Amino acid sequence: MILTIFQNGPPVEMALYTTMAIFFAIGLVMLKVGLVISKAEVRTGIKWMLASFGIQIGIFFFVAGPLILLGISGAFGKRGPEVILIIIFLILALFIDVHVLNVIHELGIKRALLVFGLMSVPFLVVSFSVIALIVENVR
């Protein structure tokens, strides 16, 4: 869907990088909206939002690091890791991210899930765009 927006514009890779930057900014805005909706009272300033956002992304990439390295080394083309391993890593990373939100902003688990749900929408759009780009280049 997003790739069709940039169909006749700049190269797809450049458009994808621009789109990813835009959706990271939208993710930050959604974090702030989630904190306002959940009526967070602790650490809601921009400094803490950026720190929380950076820590969450860093933890996600730290947990997903082994899978990223396998993908770079070409293991996905041959056999790749087992599907259950990918699911375990994904669930672990999401579990840690929700608890990081809970600890930093002292929201409680229900409100942390709400904020995380709002933040995850832009990242799902970016993920599906990257998958569409990969599928398009394979054909």
Give the tens place of pLDDT for each residue, 23-82.
Answer: 888 888 988 999 999 988 888 888 998 898 889 888 888 887 777 677 666 666 666 666
Kind and range of the H or E run holding 83: helix 83-105
Domains in the chain: boundaries: 10-132
Give the tens place of pLDDT for each residue, 90-133.
Answer: 788 888 888 998 999 988 899 999 988 888 888 777 777 777 76
**Per-residue b or e along 73-85, where b marks 16 or more CB atoms closer than 10 Å to that residue's CB:** eeeeeeeeeeeee
Could you tell me the pTM of the whole model? Answer: 0.70
